[in-house]
Amino acid sequence: MTTAQTPELDVQPTPLALLLLGREADPKSERGVECPGDLPSPSDPDLVERARAAKEKLGDKVFVLGHHYQRDEVIQFADVTGDSFKLARDAAARPEAEYIVFCGVHFMAESADILTSDDQKVVLPDLAAGCSMADMATAEQVAECWDVLTEAGVAEQVVPVSYMNSSADIKAFTGKHGGTICTSSNAKRALDWAFEQGEPSTTKVLFLPDQHLGRNTAVRDMGMSLDDCVVYNPHKPNGGLTAEQLRAAKMILWRGHCSVHGRFSLDSVNDVRARIPGVNVLVHPECKHEVVAAADYVGSTEYIIKALEAAPTGSKWAIGTELNLVRRLANRFAPEGKEIVFLDKTVCFCSTMNRIDLPHLVWALESLAEGNLVNRIEVDKETEAFAKLALERMLALP
């Protein structure tokens, strides 16, 4: 028997794991800090009643937003639920609410803070609810990328389009450089807009930070070829690209991805088709290109829900997105005779979305009801001004 050598890994130590455990503060990123209060015990049988009572005490002063990936125990207290786009719009539409409690992840709460008035306070019940994809593009890396594009002589032709799943700093960079934010429900409209900003034959898009959403939208929805896309790797000199490659590309995709949607593979699609004859495969556009290309339908979380609402009785569906949502939809539509299964064989929750649980929600609501503002998410004014520009361009897309 031979002993395997430990391979030399090209990996830098990162404080991320500790931060995800809530031990340190890094307010400039999607990573969190320790919860400052005394959380109720998860086994407290009165949690539901406590959340209800605190919310009732706060009345119209509080507005609770819930992303579709939230747990059932949390989503039951949401005044509105939605995908990233709908929640951004809904947050802005409640100027009378003093507190916006965001049951979602950090970048969503930042966007809500940017889009609401200065006297409204946005609260994230657990500050460690970040997003690993958003962490894949830092402000320093993106500034360096812009220098690379400038050196290659292409920056003037580039319009940045940043996915909502990015920090406020990246949104501000996007606003400053004439770009827009997009979500999975309007990515095609955002790209159409971006290519209209300059001479169509020479304009390029720098798409941040989800390479899959960028590639899927460009190739599947806009008819570009895979060769029109290059991937900029922030961990390589010059992004791992030559000036020639940058000049030839139409889409410069940042090398970021969602670890939850990245688990679905072509095998997952082939397996489910073999197991369930006649199944419809419906996936989120954060999935890899080969998964999206093999699927029957592709869309945001809101699109997925609407497609299942409209599906005929007796139809069968395999869904490629986060498990809290798929499980809730399977339970909701089973009485209507719609069979809904998770696309992968193994479970796949978004661990950071899952950090918002009932104890954190109860703690946040009770603190607010007692007059203690906790876990406020507040974007600094300069960042906010440019990030707002980019978010408002998205909200104004046709």
Contact positions vs ligand SF4 (CB under 6 A): 105, 131-133, 165, 258-260, 322, 350, 352-353
Question: At closest approach, how far in Å is the CB of 6 from ligand SF4?
Answer: 29
Positions of E strands within 7-138: 62-67, 80-82, 99-103, 121-123
- Which residue, 40 or 209, has its beta carbon nearer to ligand SF4? 209
- Which residue, 169 or 366, has its beta carbon nearer to ligand 13P? 169
Q: Give me the residues paired with residue 229 across strands.
A: 251
Question: At closest approach, how far in Å is the CB of 163 from ligand 13P?
Answer: 9
356 Rama sector, left if φ>0, alpha if ψ -120 to 50, beta otherwise: beta
Parallel, antiparallel or unpaired: strands 316-320 and 280-283:
parallel
Structure tokens at 169: 């700093």
- Which residue, 145 or 325, has its beta carbon nearer to ligand 13P? 325
Question: At closest approach, how far in Å is the CB of 282 from ligand 13P?
Answer: 12
Give the burial string for 310-321 (b: 16+ CB within 10 Å, else e).
Answer: ebeeebbbbbbb
Decide which of ligand SF4, ligand 13P, none touches 83; Cβ closer than 5 to 8 Å per partner kind.
Answer: ligand 13P
Decide which of ligand SF4, ligand 13P, none touches 111; Cβ closer than 5 to 8 Å per partner kind.
Answer: none
Question: At closest approach, how far in Å is the CB of 20 from ligand SF4?
Answer: 11
- Which residue, 54 or 131, has its beta carbon nearer to ligand SF4? 131
Distance CA 32, CA 323 (A): 23
Q: In which order are the strands placed within the sheet that holds 316-320?
A: 297-298, 280-283, 316-320, 339-342
* Contact positions vs ligand 13P (CB under 6 A): 68, 83-85, 165, 183-184, 258, 286, 300-301
CA 396 from chain center: how many Å?
20
Decide which of ligand 13P, ligand SF4, none touches 171; Cβ closer than 5 to 8 Å per partner kind.
Answer: none
Q: What angle do CA 107, 284, 66 make, to 5 degrees?
A: 45
Are 19 and 32 in contact by the 8 Å Cβ rule? The answer is yes
Q: Give me the residues paired with residue 232 across strands.
A: 254
Distance CA 331, CA 133 (A): 29
- Which residue, 84 or 141, has its beta carbon nearer to ligand 13P? 84
Q: Which residue is nearest to ligand 13P (CB)?
A: 83
Question: At closest approach, how far in Å is the CB of 320 from ligand 13P?
Answer: 12
- Which residue, 167 or 174, has its beta carbon nearer to ligand SF4? 167
Are 210 and 216 in contact by the 8 Å Cβ rule? The answer is no
- Which residue, 194 or 260, has its beta carbon nearer to ligand SF4? 260
The CA–CA distances, whole Å, from 81 to 91, 155, 328 equal: 11, 38, 13
Are 171 and 387 in contact by the 8 Å Cβ rule? The answer is yes
Decide which of ligand 13P, ligand SF4, none touches 301; Cβ closer than 5 to 8 Å per partner kind.
Answer: ligand 13P
Distance CA 231, CA 354 (A): 30
Distance CA 215, CA 236 (A): 20
Decide which of ligand SF4, ligand 13P, none touches 183; Cβ closer than 5 to 8 Å per partner kind.
Answer: ligand 13P
- Which residue, 258 or 348, has its beta carbon nearer to ligand 13P? 258
- Which residue, 105 or 137, has its beta carbon nearer to ligand SF4? 105
Distance CA 375, CA 372 (A): 10
Question: At closest approach, how far in Å is the CB of 217 from ligand SF4?
Answer: 15
Decide which of ligand 13P, ligand SF4, none touches 330; Cβ closer than 5 to 8 Å per partner kind.
Answer: none
Decide which of ligand SF4, ligand 13P, none touches 283; Cβ closer than 5 to 8 Å per partner kind.
Answer: none
Question: At closest approach, how far in Å is the CB of 72 from ligand SF4?
Answer: 17
Question: At closest approach, how far in Å is the CB of 157 from ligand 13P?
Answer: 28
Decide which of ligand 13P, ligand SF4, none touches 167; Cβ closer than 5 to 8 Å per partner kind.
Answer: none
Question: At closest approach, how far in Å is the CB of 90 from ligand 13P?
Answer: 13
Q: How many residues does the chain have?
A: 398
Are 310 and 323 in contact by the 8 Å Cβ rule? The answer is no
Decide which of ligand 13P, ligand SF4, none touches 132; Cβ closer than 5 to 8 Å per partner kind.
Answer: ligand SF4
